[in-house]
Structure 1
Amino acid sequence: MTHTHVHAPAEVAALVHGDPLGTDRVEALLAVTPPRDPEAYREGRARAVRQHRRWAAQVVVTDELARRACAELGLRPPEDTAPPDVLTVDEADAAELGSIVAAALAYSPAARALLAHLEALQHLPEGTLRDYYLRNPDRFLTPDALRRGADPFGATAPEDLMPYQEVRAGIGKELRQAMGRRAFFLWLDRERSDVVYSPGYEHPGDPGHPDHEHRH
């Protein structure tokens, strides 16, 4: 992804659809976010400091874009949510979503509200749910079948599998979550295409700066 840079006033981290986003919002996030390499950060190593700031800028931009999307959709994220003293990001979410999106969802009520909205929009026909159940028998073995070491893809008795109606709701929830997350990524990629970053606030993976990295 190529990001355009802009020579903006020192207090502007980016232009989001033409509107300035202040560096104060980035600094507020930095104040509650432990750096990925604390020792390097404490020693003031320039690369660690720059990459942490660029990462924080992406999280704040995502928050701003989500706020705008919620306003357009008539969604009302909770306004009384206090910023965290220390932002905690679940490691499993970071591995699955990337650290930027995982942090944005942990940090931004608007991003969470938008994701919930996108999940609720996903339609799953009954055939899709049942097909998932039939194609993934290993996920629905009963505790007794697991203890016996039953082969879910071999010869199993009907009682070795949890009944479809008992797991149907869970399947729907899981698939809607996955589809909602894909929709969130597509939305974010589209909206970020009209964001212009000030020097020093580019995406950490932007090849336009010499110490870019592809880890999100």
Structure 2
Amino acid sequence: MTPEHAALIDGEPLPRERVDSFLEAPLRGAGNGATSHDAPAPARRRTEAPSAARQRRRWATQVVVTDELARRACADRGLKPPPEVSPAHMLTIAETDVADMGSIVAAALAHSPATRTLLAALESEQTVPETSVRDYYDRNRDRFLTPDALRRGVDPFDEPAAGDTLPYDEVREGIAHELRKAAGRKAFFGWLDQARAGVTYAHGHEHPGDPSHPDHEHRH
């Protein structure tokens, strides 16, 4: 018998229809198979192996669960996400987001205003010490060579001339922004791991990497 819910979140059912709706929506962008489809869902299904369809449903369940958890976290924090977008206007998933965050979280960010709102809030809460910014600059001089120095093939770690690297004050704000972004993502994953502890999945909606089902793959 097919369950009416995809998961229980702290004992409350997450309707299976929300996963079905997500599976019907085109998801634009790159990924690892779960995210790399632009064709309408029925066209995809005609050529999809049963095991791939099962895995895609499990993957989609993770995206929808992440959305629901983010909605609840935003409500708890008094954050108001922007309105939902229609499937036709869903954000594109960037290759770098898939590589850095995994396809589940990258798809949740494309699909879910609440997830984007929560991540932005966590990023804004991060404090980056000046010593960390300076240390990053000192350890990554190759990233701050001037265009002229790059053309001349200057070795950034072999005492380059003062004019061969961009001044610290000129790049400090950009470094701080990147470090704050990285810290926010780390905080987001910490929150997500904790929030998922209250989730119980219905049969057929387990995590795609769960070794308890025969089609499992370690895929994020």
Q: Normalized against structure 2, the TM-score is what?
A: 0.89
1:157 to 158, 161, 166: 161
The yes-or-no answer on 1:83 pairing with 2:86 is: yes
Cα offset, 1:47, TM superposition: 0.3
Q: 1:84 corresponds to which letter in structure 2? A: P
| Greater RCO, 1 or 2 (C-alpha within 8 Å, sep 6+) | 1
Mapped contact 2:133–2:172 kept (Cα < 8 A):
yes
After TM superposition, the structure 1 = structure 2 runs for residues 66-105 of structure 1, keeping only pairs within 5 Å, are 66-79=70-83, 81-85=84-88, 87=90, 88-105=92-109
Partners of 2:26 and 2:54 lie apart in 1 by 14
Identity of aligned residues (%): 59
Counterpart-to-counterpart distance in 1, 2:58 and 2:116: 22
Q: Structure 1 length normalisation: TM-score? A: 0.91
Farther-moved stretch of structure 1 (180-189 vs 87-96): 87-96
Whether 1:28 aligns to 2:21 is: yes
Shift of residue 42, structure 1, vs aligned partner: 2.0
The equivalent position to 1:17 in structure 2, one of 10, 13, 25, is 10
User: How far is 1:92 from its partner?
Assistant: 1.6
Task: State the Cα RMSD in Å.
Answer: 1.8
Gap regions ≥5 residues in structure 2: 28-32, 38-42
Q: Which residue of 2 aligns with 1:109?
A: 113
**Does the 8 A contact of 2:26 with 2:87 survive in 1?**
no
Equivalent runs, 1:34-53 vs 2, <5 Å: 36=34, 41-53=45-57
Secondary structure, in 3 states, of the residue corresponding to 2:55? helix
Distance 1:213 1:41 in 2: 20
Q: How many residues get paired?
A: 208
Unpaired segments ≥5 residues, structure 1: 1-6
CA–CA distance in structure 1, aligned partners of residues 206 and 183 of structure 2: 28
| 4+ aligned runs moved over 6 Å, structure 1 | 37-40
Q: 1:181 maps to which residue?
A: 185
The one-letter code of the counterpart of 1:146 is L
Q: In the superposition, relative to structure 1, how do residues 200 and 89 fare at CA in structure 2: closer, same or farther (>3 Å)?
A: same
Q: CA deviation at 1:130?
A: 1.0
Q: Which moved more, 1:186-195 or 1:89-98?
A: 89-98
- Aligned-pair distance for 1:155? 2.3
